[in-house]
Structure 1
Amino acid sequence: MKPEWPENLPVAQVRLARPTDKLREVERFYCEGIGLKKLDSFENHQGYDGVMIGLPGFPYHLEFTQHVNGSPCPAPTRDNLLVLYIPDEARIRQIVQRLEQMGYPEVVPENPYWKEKGAVTVEDPDGWRLVLMPTAGIGAGEK
């Protein structure tokens, strides 16, 4: 049976949004490096430029915005994570290799759990951490 979204929270789409001062580098990291797609973008909307990144046809997106006056946001802690669960470990290795060639090497995770489960952690251009987690490394309670 396919799980359904709770009736009392009728969400049609989920978008995680955050500011950056490195919009083009972040777009390149997530699109060229990770393999997500640029879904939409905008320029000079009340001083903001932005890009929406995700997978066409799926209601889960990342949005990155850059203000003409810059962003006061510092880098997050090493345990602020975006985790992508990927069933194909060979594909994870390809992504990691591509990111390394782009200048984004694997980093040691703050929480050793991720390394113990075979995940790879990489920092994006702003210092936010992305975890590529093989689905073979997750337990029944984590799916």
Structure 2
Amino acid sequence: MAETLQLTSGDKATQYEALLPQLSALVAGEPDLIANMANLAAALRMQFNFFWVGFYLVQGNELVLGPFQGPVACTRIARGKGVCGTAWMRGKTLVVPDVDAFPGHIACSSLSRSEIVVPIYKQGEIIAVLDVDSDQPDHFDETDVTYLTQLSRLL
């Protein structure tokens, strides 16, 4: 597949349904995790105009910033800290409608208002998290959970 995307309008589910097969084709045959993360972050930001989209990779007891699209970000996050570290520790997706109300939220940007973090598994172990921020409160829902979980499996 050429490195182009056909962006789609419509409701979130329609947009995800059109994007997922394109992303699957984009990463097919590319074994490099970082390259694939970079393209997935760019594609999500292009399609949905999210405030920030990126990955944090597990290194020891920390998450270390990986490929992302958006403003500069926190470089390291301890296990159990902030939304990303908590999702990693719990091993489950977290949807935060209001980041200011999340205990221990790490404010990499004061413009972030809501967030979703999806753990990425390889052979039963979490190797990274997908972090998506919106500048709008209560932006993420079960549609995002469903499709971003599917997207994380592409890696």
TM over 0.5: no
Q: What is the TM-score when the length of structure 1 is the normalising length?
A: 0.27
Which one has the largest radius of gyration? 1
Q: What is the TM-score when the length of structure 2 is the normalising length?
A: 0.26
